[in-house]
């Protein structure tokens, strides 16, 4: 499966965005900010023909300078609570494209995170190889 290649800076932005999209907690292991979820997001974007992931991540990184309340740090350098709040601000934007982009990103991040075997086990889902009684 092919993946979109990111620069180290873009990969750091992706990691920060994944952590904000699906933060740790609720008794589940880790957060979406790990290698497995990052690879899945890059592979999904490649398979969907979305080659502008790096550019979208760079735009997200400067969005704190553009979206009220203005912040004087890049997205990837903000504390987790501020990154979560900024993603929520994008999701409630008056601009449809911005809302749709963040919503789509969060959906892909959640799909990749909740598909991890350790997360499925923590949720009590049986292995897909186990027959579920009817």
Question: Is residue 107 pLDDT above 80, yes or no?
Answer: yes
- The pLDDT, as a whole number, for residue 131 is 63
- The pLDDT, as a whole number, for residue 31 is 87
Question: Is residue 22 pLDDT above 80, yes or no?
Answer: yes
Q: Given pLDDT bands bounded at 50, 70 and 90, which one contains residue 134? A: low
- pLDDT tens for 60-89 read 999 999 988 888 999 999 999 999 999 999
- Region 24-41 average pLDDT: 89
Q: What is the mean pLDDT of the chain?
A: 90
DSSP 103: H
Q: If we measure between CA atoms, which residue out of 60, 56, 41 comes closest to residue 107?
A: 41
- Region 104-130 average pLDDT: 87
83 vs 87: CA distance, rounded Å? 6
Q: Given pLDDT bands bounded at 50, 70 and 90, which one contains residue 26? A: confident
């Amino acid at each position: 499966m092919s993946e979109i290649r990111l620069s180290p800076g873009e990969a750091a932005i992706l990691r920060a965005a994944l952590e904000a999209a699906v933060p740790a907690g609720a008794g589940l292991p880790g957060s979406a900010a790990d290698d497995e979820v990052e690879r899945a997001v890059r592979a999904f974007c490649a398979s969907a023909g979305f080659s502008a992931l790096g550019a979208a991540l760079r735009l997200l990184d400067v969005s704190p300078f553009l979206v009220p309340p203005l912040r004087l740090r890049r997205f990837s350098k903000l504390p987790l609570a501020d990154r979560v709040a900024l993603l929520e601000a994008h999701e409630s934007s008056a601009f449809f494209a911005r809302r749709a982009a963040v919503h789509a990103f969060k959906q892909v991040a959640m799909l990749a995170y909740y598909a991890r075997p350790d997360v499925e086990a923590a949720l009590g889902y049986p292995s897909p190889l186990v027959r579920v009684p009817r």
